[in-house]
């Protein structure tokens, strides 16, 4: 870093581009970020600052210029874009229509309840509890190499809402139902936002970090008449009230 001429600050980031492997799936590039870089020493000189804030790949630079409210990161050679929920649909439509990202491979989420100090690249917005993660894929062809991109969408805990991608990539229909089911994030505009893996009457969203595994015994739909299967955590529901009448003592009715 010391022998870099001070008048070409962006050269650092540019030079690293071919070394990193945007495809991501292969083994880590030999001079990719080392453990030391990941964990600690950050270069605070102006050159280092510039190198860190300039997107290192053409795709990220393109996204960043078109959508100034996004941020970027390169995680283990994989390109990541942070997108605020408000501009998610615009970014997604641009990625699909202009940038050849025809296929969305996956939509999932992470609950960062106990990990607020995670690395978030150049994201300077608010840190949120949830993140919706969208992996998109360009199948290549017509002279293009296949490539991947990951969108991380910070989702506020209070609101817990995210625009639905079901109209952009039809695959998101089922994937977002799973995220809704397991995290309780509501996708605005989703045509059929119902649970998909858990039963309809399940309480809570299991993949949240504050969901206590083992708190609720296994229940099955339609077995509410059987006292042995009623939830341990007592709340006055129609069925528990009925059983309370049988046992009588101690309850006000």
At residue 182, φ and ψ (nearest 5 deg) are -95, -20
Q: How far is the CB of 38 from other proteins (least distance, A)?
A: 6
For residues 149 and 168, what is the distance between their CA atoms, to the nearest angstrom? 16
Closest distance to other proteins from the beta carbon of 127 (Å): 14
> Is residue 221 part of the contact set for other proteins (CB under 8 A)?
yes
Nearer to other proteins, 47 or 152 (CB): 152
Interactions with other proteins, residue window 175-194 (CB under 8 A): 175, 178, 182, 191-192, 194
Is residue 89 near other proteins by the rule CB under 8 A? no
Q: Could you tell me if 153 and 184 are in contact, meaning their C-beta atoms sit under 8 angstroms apart?
A: no
Task: Pick between residue 10 and residue 139 the one whose CB is nearest to other proteins.
Answer: 139
**Between residues 47 and 138, which has the closer beta carbon with respect to other proteins?**
138
Is residue 150 a contact residue for other proteins (CB under 8 A)?
yes
When binding is defined by CB under 8 A, the residue of 140, 212, 226, 245 that contacts other proteins is: 140
Does 39 bind other proteins (CB under 8 A)? Our answer is: yes
| Residue 19 interacts with other proteins (CB under 8 A): yes or no | no
Q: Is 195 in the site for other proteins (CB under 8 A)?
A: yes
Query: For other proteins, which is the closer residue by CB, 66 or 195?
Result: 195
- Short-list 207, 188, 187, 212, CA closest to 197: 207
Cβ atoms of residues 249 and 243 within 8 Å: no
Q: Which is nearest to 224 in space by CA: 211, 212, 247, 241? A: 241
- Cα 105 to the chain's mean position, in Å? 13
Q: What are phi and psi of 99, to 5 degrees?
A: -105, 10
Applying CB under 8 A, the site for other proteins has a residue count of 59
Q: Which stretch binds other proteins (CB under 8 A): 59-67, 86-94, 110-118, 241-249?
A: 110-118
- Range list of H helices, 121-237: 172-183
By CB under 8 A, which span of 46-54, 87-95, 102-110, 244-252 interacts with other proteins? 102-110
> How far is it, in rounded angstroms, from Cα 28 to Cα 34?
10
Q: Work out whether 38 is an interface residue with other proteins (CB under 8 A).
A: yes
**Whether the Cβ atoms of residue 205 and residue 182 lie closer than 8 Å to each other:** yes
| Residue from the set 78, 122, 230, 239 that interacts with other proteins by CB under 8 A | 78
CB 103 within 8 A of CB 137: yes
């Amino acid at each position: 870093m010391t022998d870099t001429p001070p008048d070409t600050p962006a050269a650092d980031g540019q030079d690293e581009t071919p070394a990193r492997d945007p495809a991501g799936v292969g083994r880590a590039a030999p001079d990719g970020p080392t453990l030391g870089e990941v964990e600690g020493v950050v270069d605070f000189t102006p050159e280092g600052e510039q190198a860190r804030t300039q997107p290192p790949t053409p795709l990220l630079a393109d996204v960043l210029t078109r959508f100034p409210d996004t941020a970027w990161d390169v995680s283990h050679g994989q390109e990541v874009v942070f997108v605020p929920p408000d501009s998610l649909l615009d970014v997604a439509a641009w990625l699909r229509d202009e940038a050849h990202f025809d296929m969305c491979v996956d939509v999932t989420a992470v609950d960062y309840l106990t990990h607020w100090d995670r690395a978030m690249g150049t994201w300077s917005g608010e840190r949120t509890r949830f993140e919706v993660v969208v992996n998109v894929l360009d199948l290549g062809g017509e002279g293009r190499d296949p490539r991947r991109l990951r969108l991380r969408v910070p989702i506020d805990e209070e609101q817990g809402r995210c625009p639905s991608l079901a109209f952009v990539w039809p695959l998101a229909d089922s994937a977002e139902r799973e995220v809704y089911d397991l995290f309780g994030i509501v996708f605005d505009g989703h045509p059929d936002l119902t649970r998909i893996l858990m039963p309809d009457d399940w309480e809570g969203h299991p993949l949240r970090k504050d969901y206590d595994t083992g708190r609720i015994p296994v229940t099955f739909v339609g077995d509410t008449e059987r006292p042995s299967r009623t939830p341990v955590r007592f709340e006055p529901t129609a069925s528990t009230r009925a059983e309370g009448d049988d046992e009588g003592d101690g309850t006000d009715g």
